[in-house]
Amino acid sequence: MLMRGGTSKGAYFLAGDLPAEPAPRDDLLLRVMGSPDPRQIDGLGGAHPLTSKVAVVSASADPEADVDYLFLQVGVDTPEVSDRQNCGNLLAGVGPFAVERGLVAAGDGRTSVRIRMLNTGDLAVASFATPEGRVDYTGSAEISGVPGSAAPVVIEFPQSGSPLLPTGRARDLVADLPVTCVDNGMPTVLIAASSLGVTGYETPADLEADEALAERLREIRLEAGKLMGLGDVEGTTVPKLSLLAPPLDGGAVMTRTFIPVRCHTSIGVLGAASVAAGLRIEGGVGRAVARLPAGRDRVRIEHPTGFLDIETTLAYDEPGAVPVVRRTAVVRTARKIFDGTVFPRPAGAALH
């Protein structure tokens, strides 16, 4: 099934319909999406990392979850399929897909699906409208980056298993630049845009065209990846890099997020959750840039095409300690676009 999940689009599969072993599965998915090819002309992919995604869903053996969700990022112009990051946008389609495929019975009017996210091991609970036992995709919820409106999918993340500050510090000096390395579901490096000599209000296309910036970001990412315990991150999609600038439209902060080479046209859900929690860290680089709403858990993250509201509840075990994120919540929408049979490029077809 082809679905839009939040501001991304991907192919959703039942795990049982794909080879169980990663190597033949990934080979098949590359051929399904039309990769490697910058235009993905011979497959389902949309020629951008945000539209070259796969969700693999199955019934869960875990008593805490109804379904398991494995996210796979399929390279556009590289023959790579990676399970090293999660995707909170495709996550929005997982609950509806599970109901569509009969993995979860629709509730009376509304359905909640408990989802084990296999990439991180964390849990999410998605709830959405199911009048008369069917998923209703129509509704009045609007999210920035998607035209029109659709039914809201409310997603809650109970406490994440990973430490909020992977380096153990609120601020690190990486490639001679102050950064805050944070992980509230997505490893992300926060950097004040001004410290890189940009405003943070440029268009994604202008930022992507800046070769000196790209080289600087690459350097920062490789060093930050090691500090965050991710090892050699060359060729991987995490950590992401979020450039922060003061808000323009009443939010807490303006962002330009590199994922990690292309600049996001909006911002990822878990990326935004990580930014939202990271801004609130005492001594972090976001503190001087952001305008945080006093006494409120909801933080509005501005991005190139609008904003994303994230609720994070932080708890301090002792005053001054690194906080623990108790709960994160977000509203997304999803839509079934197409359901049918995909005909992958034949195996072994020569690529030039």
Binding site for ligand NQM (CB under 6 A): 7-8, 49-50, 87-89, 186, 237, 240, 259, 268-271
Specify the pairing of strand 240-245 against strand 253-258. Answer: antiparallel
Q: Which is nearer to ligand NQM, 8 or 130 (CB)?
A: 8
Cβ pair 273, 88 in contact under 8 A? yes
> Residue 113 corresponds to which tokens in the numbers above?
């699906």
Q: Which is nearer to ligand NQM, 145 or 247 (CB)?
A: 145
**3-state secondary structure at position 317:** coil
**Least gap, CB of 105 to ligand NQM (angstroms):** 27
**Least gap, CB of 133 to ligand NQM (angstroms):** 29
Identity (one letter) of the amino acid at 24? Answer: P
Q: Which is nearer to ligand NQM, 67 or 270 (CB)?
A: 270
Q: Which is nearer to ligand NQM, 106 or 164 (CB)?
A: 164
Distances (CA, A) of 246 to 169, 297, 326: 23, 19, 27
**Least gap, CB of 217 to ligand NQM (angstroms):** 14
Say whether the peptide bond before residue 204 is cis (omega within 30 degrees of 0). no
Q: Which is nearer to ligand NQM, 88 or 323 (CB)?
A: 88
**Least gap, CB of 176 to ligand NQM (angstroms):** 26
Query: Rounded to 5 degrees, what are φ and ψ at 177?
Result: -125, 135
Q: Which is nearer to ligand NQM, 241 or 314 (CB)?
A: 241
**Least gap, CB of 308 to ligand NQM (angstroms):** 10
| Total Cβ atoms within 10 A of residue 203 | 12
**Least gap, CB of 10 to ligand NQM (angstroms):** 9
Report how far apart the first and last C-alpha atoms of the chain are (Å, whole number).
Answer: 29
**Least gap, CB of 234 to ligand NQM (angstroms):** 17
Q: Which of 285, 263, 265 is nearest to 214 (CA)?
A: 263
Q: Give the list of residues 6+ apart from residue 174 with CB closer than 8 angstroms, or none.
A: 181, 189, 220, 223, 224, 227
Q: Which of 11, 49, 33 is nearest to 268 (CA)?
A: 49
Give the C-alpha separation, 83 to 63, whole Å.
23
Q: Which residue is nearest to ligand NQM (CB)?
A: 268
Q: Which is nearer to ligand NQM, 144 or 195 (CB)?
A: 144
